[in-house]
Amino acid sequence: MLNFPLWKQALIWIICIAGLVFAMPNVFYTTVEKHNDAVKALAKGAAETPELAAARDAWPDYLPSDLVNLGLDLRGGAHVLVEVNVADVYQDRLDGMWPAVRDILREQKELFGSVRRQEGENELRVRIGNAEAIGQAVEVVKTLTRPVVTLTGAGARDYDVVAEGDEIVLTMSEAERIATDDRTMLQSLEIIRRRVDEAGTREPTIQRQGADRILIQVPGIGSAEELLALIGRTAKLSFNEVVRQVASPDVAPGLGNIIVPSVNEGEGYYVLKRAPVVTGDMLTDAQTQFDQNGQPAVGFTFNPTGARLFGAHTAANVGKLFAIVLDNQVISAPRIQTAILGGSGIITGNFTVEESGQLAILLRAGALPASIKVLERRTIGPELGQDSIDAGKIAAVVAMVAVVVFMVLSYGLFGMFANVALAFNVVLLFALLSTIGATLTLPGIAGIVLTLGMAVDANVLIFERIREELQRGKGPARAIEIGYEKATSAIIDANVTTLIAAVILFLMGSGPVKGFAVTLGLGIVTSVFTAIWVTRLLIAMWLQARKPKTIEV
C-alpha cells in the first residue's frame, strides 16, 4: 500500500505541478486580465497601439492565461431579471392577418357581402354581410392558415378559425402560441445580447430562465438602471439600395451615399444610398423557410406600407443588390431576383439552417418584440466588491495560518504533511476554477475558507486511525498502512454526503449561492485527492528515506 508504483508517483506530482501552473495566473490577476483583453482586442482587429502591445507582452503567451471569473458581488456591476410579456405579440400578429383576411373575403364580395372588422382582444373578429355564407367564409379564411410543425403531432395550423353567428373569429392556435412565445424569447435574447455587447463590457451573462424570463448580469456597468436603459433602446433596421462594394472604408462614397461595413468578415464595405427603401418598423415577421431547391432561406413579411414601397423598388431594380442594414452593419446583401409585390419575400443565400435562423432572428430583432417587467434588479458598486475581496483575502490567510499551526501542534511532522496537502488543495481548487471558467462569488470565498477547515478532516481521520494502530503496538509502516485502509470508507461516505448537498445547492441555487456550491463541490473533490494521495505519497517517501523505528503521530 505504501509502495507506490513509479507511474502513480509521477501522476500525482504531475497533477500537483499542473495545478500550480494553471493556478498561477490568478496571482498576477490584473496583468493577466489586461493581457487577455489585449489579445482579444487585437484578434478582433483593433489597431496595435503601444499600450495594447505592452499589455499583451506583459504576460507570456506560452503560460496559461485562464483566470477565475470574479462574480458580480466581487467585481461590481448590475444584475437584472426581467419577464417578457410574451402575450404582447399575439395581437400584433392577429392585426397582421387582417389585410389578408379582408382581401380574400372581398374577392367574393357578391357571396359574403360587406366585410368589417370588430373589436376583440387576442382575436381577430370579422363580420360579414351575408350570415348564410359564414361556413364558406370560414373555409376561405382557413386557406390563409399554415401548418405548424410541433413535437406533439402533425395537422396543427397556426390560426384557429371558427364561426360565431355572422362573425368569423381568428385566434392563435396553442401550437402557434408556443412557437411564437419561443420566437419572442429568442428574439428578445438576441436583441439584449446585441445591446449589451455594443456596450463592450466584459463577459456579460445573458440567460433565458424558465419560459419567459431573462437574466442579465453585466460586470462593470454603473447601475441596473443604466443596463435597463441600454436594453430598452431600439435597434435600427433598414433596407437600402447598394451602389457598389468597396474594400476600404476610406473611399469617398459620393453625394447622398454612405459607407457601411459588412458583418461578415472578408466582405469589405458597401456603399449604400443614404435614404432607406424600407425601414425595420415596417417588417411584421421573419422566419426560416426553404426555397424551391430545399435550401434554407429567410422569409419575411412587410406591413402594407412597407409592402408597397418594397414592391415598387424591387420592380424597378431586378438584378441589383439591396442591403439589409442593422445598426449600421450590412447583415446581408441579396440580389433581387424578381419584383416582390406581395409584401413578403424570401432571402436566399448560402445559408445553413442555423444561419438562416440567426438572420431571421436578427431581422425580427428591431425593437424588443414585447414589453418587459423588471422582477429583480441589483447594483453592486465596485468599492464594495473590492472591500469583499480584501476582507476575504485576509480572512483566508488568517484561517489558513490558524489551521496550519493547529495541525502542526496536534500532529507534528504528520501535521506538516497534511499542511502541504492543504496548500496543494487550494492550488488545485484555483486551477480547476480557472480552467472551467467558474465564477468566484463572495459566498464562494466562504466556501474556500470552509474547505480549508474541512480539508484536513480526511487527514485527521487517517492520523487518528494511525495513532490507534500504534497504540495497539503495530510498527510504523503497518500502522500507517492500516490507518489509510480503514479510514477510507469513512472518508468516502462523509464526503459523498457533503457532495450531495453541494450538488443540490448547485442545481437549485442561483447567482452567488451557485458560486458557493461550485467551490464547495470542487473543494471536496480536490481535498479528497490531496488528503488521500498527496499526504500518502509524502509519508511513503519519508518512510523510505528515514526508515524510522518508531513514529509519533
Please give the angle made by the CA atoms of 522, 528 and 534, to the nearest 5 degrees: 120
Write the DSSP assignment of 202-219 as a string of letters.
SS-EEEEETTTEEEEEEE
Residues in the chain: 553
The residues in 143-202 that bind another protein, with binding defined as CB under 8 A, are none
The residues in 472-501 that bind another protein, with binding defined as CB under 8 A, are 482, 485-486, 488-501
Output 186 or 466, the one with its CB closest to another protein. Answer: 466
Q: Give the number of residues in contact with another protein, rule: CB under 8 A.
A: 82
Cα 383 to Cα 215: distance, rounded to the nearest angstrom: 24
The residues in 38-67 that bind another protein, with binding defined as CB under 8 A, are none
Among 256, 304, 381, 548, binds another protein (CB under 8 A): 381
Query: Mask 533-552, x = binds another protein (CB under 8 A)?
Result: -------------------x
Output 259 or 461, the one with its CB closest to another protein. Answer: 461
Cα 124 to Cα 119: distance, rounded to the nearest angstrom: 8
Rounded to a whole number of angstroms, the minimum distance from the CB of residue 508 to another protein is 4
Query: Mask 414-453, x = binds another protein (CB under 8 A)?
Result: ----------------------------xx-xx--xx-xx
Cα 229 to Cα 189: distance, rounded to the nearest angstrom: 15
Cα 111 to Cα 161: distance, rounded to the nearest angstrom: 19
Stretch that binds another protein, among 8-16, 221-229, 259-267, 348-356 (CB under 8 A): 221-229
Among 223, 262, 344, 358, binds another protein (CB under 8 A): 223
87 binds another protein (CB under 8 A): no
467 binds another protein (CB under 8 A): yes
- Dihedral-angle region of residue 337 (phi above 0 means left; psi in -120 to 50 means alpha; beta otherwise): alpha
Rounded to a whole number of angstroms, the minimum distance from the CB of residue 4 to another protein is 18
Output 173 or 441, the one with its CB closest to another protein. Answer: 441
- CA neighbor of 527 nearest in space, from 432, 402, 392: 432
Output 38 or 491, the one with its CB closest to another protein. Answer: 491
Among 32, 83, 428, 431, binds another protein (CB under 8 A): 83
Query: Mask 105-124, x = binds another protein (CB under 8 A)?
Result: --------------------
Rounded to a whole number of angstroms, the minimum distance from the CB of residue 538 to another protein is 19
Output 78 or 259, the one with its CB closest to another protein. Answer: 78
Rounded to a whole number of angstroms, the minimum distance from the CB of residue 487 to another protein is 9
Residue 130 backbone dihedrals phi, psi, to 5 degrees: -105, 100
Relative to beta strand 237-246, strand 278-279 is antiparallel
Residue 253 backbone dihedrals phi, psi, to 5 degrees: -75, -20
Rounded to a whole number of angstroms, the minimum distance from the CB of residue 370 to another protein is 15
Residue 522: how many other CB atoms lie within 10 Å: 22
- Residue 396's Cβ-side half-sphere holds a number of Cα atoms within 13 Å equal to 18
Burial class (CB in 10 A: 0-12, 13-18, 19+), 90: buried
Helix ranges restricted to H, 123-173: 134-142
AA letter at 286: A
C-alpha cell at 32: 493577466
Contact between residue 184 and residue 84 where contact means Cβ atoms under 8 Å apart? yes
Output 21 or 405, the one with its CB closest to another protein. Answer: 405
C-alpha cell at 232: 430598452
Q: What CA–CA distances, in Å, run from 452 to 423, 488, 496, 524?
A: 9, 20, 17, 10
Rounded to a whole number of angstroms, the minimum distance from the CB of residue 416 to another protein is 13
Rounded to a whole number of angstroms, the minimum distance from the CB of residue 449 to another protein is 5
Among 388, 419, 519, 535, binds another protein (CB under 8 A): 388
Contact between residue 185 and residue 84 where contact means Cβ atoms under 8 Å apart? yes
User: Where does 104-200 show beta strands of DSSP type E?
Assistant: 115-118, 124-128, 159-164, 167-172
C-alpha cell at 245: 462594394
AA letter at 210: G
Output 144 or 490, the one with its CB closest to another protein. Answer: 490
C-alpha cell at 308: 408597397
The residues in 225-244 that bind another protein, with binding defined as CB under 8 A, are 225
Cα 361 to Cα 216: distance, rounded to the nearest angstrom: 19
23 binds another protein (CB under 8 A): no
C-alpha cell at 140: 376561405
The residues in 497-526 that bind another protein, with binding defined as CB under 8 A, are 497-502, 504-505, 508-513, 516-517, 520
The residues in 290-349 that bind another protein, with binding defined as CB under 8 A, are none
The residues in 240-269 that bind another protein, with binding defined as CB under 8 A, are none
Output 175 or 532, the one with its CB closest to another protein. Answer: 532
The residues in 360-379 that bind another protein, with binding defined as CB under 8 A, are 373-379
